[in-house]
Amino acid sequence: MNRFVVVSAAVFLLISLAYLPLLNQLYWSTLTSLIPPVRVVADLVVTNGTIFTSDKSLPFADSMAIRNGRILKVGSFTTLKDFVGDGTMEVNLEGKVVVPGLIDSHVHLISGGLQMAQVGLRGVSQKEEFCKMVKDAVQNAKEGLWILGGGWNNDFWGGELPSASWIDEISPHNPVWLIRMDGHMALANSLTLKIAGVTSFTEDPVGGTIMRLPSGEPTGLLIDAAMELVTSFVKEVSVDERREALVRASKYALTRGVTTVVDVGRYYPGTTDELSWKDFEDVYLWADSTNKMMIRTCLFFPITTWSRLSDLKLQKGHVLSEWLYLGGVKAFIDGSLGSNSALFYEEYIDTPNNHGLEVMDPEILSNLTMAADKSGLQVAIHAIGDKANDMILDMYESVAAANGERDRRFRIEHAQHLAPGSSARFGRHHIVASVQPDHLLDDADTAPKKLGFDRADKESYLFQSLLNGNALVAFGSDWPVADINPLHSIRTAVKRIPPKWDHAWIPSECISFTDALTAYTISAARAAFLDDHLGSLSPGKLADFVILSTNSWDEFSKDGSASVLATYVGGKQVHP
């Protein structure tokens, strides 16, 4: 009898253990059914619009729900109405078009903000107007103060290069330093040259040129690395001025629908590589810690400081906050077309025997790129001329072969003039083409004069060829070199009609409207490793979007004629 009881108890215990998970599941499912589900309520729901998501899984929608600065869901209102509850703000778009927050892939943000408060020479089309603006600035400044400014383009007044003689008489007691719109040439008055010790005996530095009269006397123009002869004497702007510049620039970007930028910093040939780090420490970290950031910013630093950035990324990671991201490193191989310092295989027509400049020793650049890439950093290199682009393409291929396969997303900034066959190499080797459409408006008249019509038409701004080769193409402005205005740049990429022209420049390179808009959204995000957070209106991503003035997607996609009505960052309206 006792043995039977023991065996029965043992059997019961084994059966109980076997059924315990089922009983546990039954218990919790019963308990859960008694507890009402937690309802997710959106902070904001936008409805009744045409929402371009830049997400291939759902290209268009009419409504979007947002909570805690991120997107809950995108779709039709019937699929989103359950998210509407107490405290939900509803915005009726009344048919307006919405696009993701636009990403400018190449800006000098603080430089642009500073230039907004300096002598602005963008668009000046006459020598007299140029001189008058300098004169006005001198008259409003105390004796001895530096007169700083930029944005001038000599092609706008017929091509004649300015010289110190233009402004010496009106600025005898104020040093003047005016940077060309491309950042690769600057004009100094004679007082500035005297302060810097630049004379007829001063030799051209490696990677730079001092423009001279036939007598050997400097004209006042310094190109690329030669600018460093002066920049070390220019009084560095204060921390407060740079912080004000960031705020000023950010507000301006928001008016254009730009919610994220890739800031390649104040580092140009002829400047110190410390400027980007000073801005990071004095301006960006300050803005981030005091809630002063208004647009999301991905920072690139001079390649010469790669180990410093590598250490910082190992310590902090890629994402410092929802506002601030550590990108990669930036370098230059050549100058610019307008300054005749972009590097080409053939000589410039207007300056015989000149093929452009190597502004950095190629072997040093290759070694730095190898080291930066090996540490896991993204590398972006400025290349404009056809030879310069081939040099960087070759170098990238060599570095990738040596360091092994990984998702590195090498970038070439500008990729402006490409030799036959070079455009296909970008897609083949997964190299990002970070290009600026509005630059072609300035170069359409200039390039044939410098390169000849045949070269200019075969190799300039090959956007469609790059896309045909499956390259990742990201759009930007290079602000303040060109205006920060993505909607205008999109029209430029689609139409390619320069001012005073009635037809497209190289029509075969016109791209579709969707490709152009994609280059300012999800492609721009991928080009900077931001696509997990930004670039499309997809569930889980940051809720940055722009409401446009148009009610018709068909009309918008046909001619791109629309303006920014409102800009939202993190689900909050920040403009107007």
What is the residue-wise DSSP string for 118-160? SEE-TT---HHHHHHHHHHHHHTS-TT--EEEEEE-GGGGTSP
Per-residue pLDDT of the chain in tens (576 residues, 90 and over written 9): 444 444 444 444 444 544 444 444 544 444 445 555 667 889 999 999 999 999 999 999 999 999 999 999 999 999 998 899 988 999 999 999 999 999 999 999 999 998 888 888 888 889 999 999 899 888 888 888 898 988 888 888 888 899 999 999 999 999 999 988 877 889 999 999 999 999 999 999 888 899 999 999 999 999 988 988 998 888 788 899 999 999 999 999 999 999 999 999 987 776 788 999 999 999 999 999 999 999 999 999 999 999 999 999 999 999 999 999 999 999 999 999 988 999 999 999 999 999 999 999 999 999 999 999 999 999 999 999 999 999 999 999 999 999 999 999 999 999 999 999 999 999 999 999 999 999 999 899 999 999 999 999 999 999 999 999 999 999 999 999 899 999 999 999 999 999 989 999 999 999 999 999 999 999 999 999 999 999 999 999 999 999 999 999 999 999 888 999 999 999 999 999
First to last CA, the chain: 89
pLDDT of residue 208: 86
58-78 pLDDT, tens digit per residue, is 999 999 999 999 999 999 999
For the record, the structure tokens of 149 come out as: 């400014």
pLDDT of residue 38: 67
Question: What is the 3-class SS of 285-312, one letter each residue?
Answer: HHHHHCCCCCCEEEEEEEHHHHHHHHHH
pLDDT of residue 116: 87
Name the β-bridge partners of 258: 102
Give the three-state DSSP class for 11.
Answer: helix
Burial class from Cβ neighbours inside 10 Å (0-12, 13-18, 19+) for residue 33 reads exposed
| Cα separations in angstroms, 205 against 198, 227, 263, 511 | 12, 9, 28, 41
pLDDT of residue 149: 87
For the record, the structure tokens of 281 come out as: 């420490």
Which of 369, 438, 392, 463 is closest to 104 using CA atoms?
438
198-234 pLDDT, tens digit per residue, is 999 999 988 889 999 999 999 999 998 898 899 888 8
For helices 362-374 and 306-316, what crossing angle results, to 10°?
10
pLDDT of residue 559: 82
Tokens 């909570």, located at residue:
67
Q: What is the pTM of this model?
A: 0.85
Contact criterion met (CB below 8 Å) for 322 and 296: yes
pLDDT of residue 145: 85
* Domains present along the chain, CATH in parentheses: 40-101+536-575 (2.30.40.10), 111-232 (3.10.310.70)
Q: Which DSSP letter does residue 226 get? A: G
Q: How far apart are CA 227 and CA 188, in angstroms?
A: 9
pLDDT of residue 544: 98
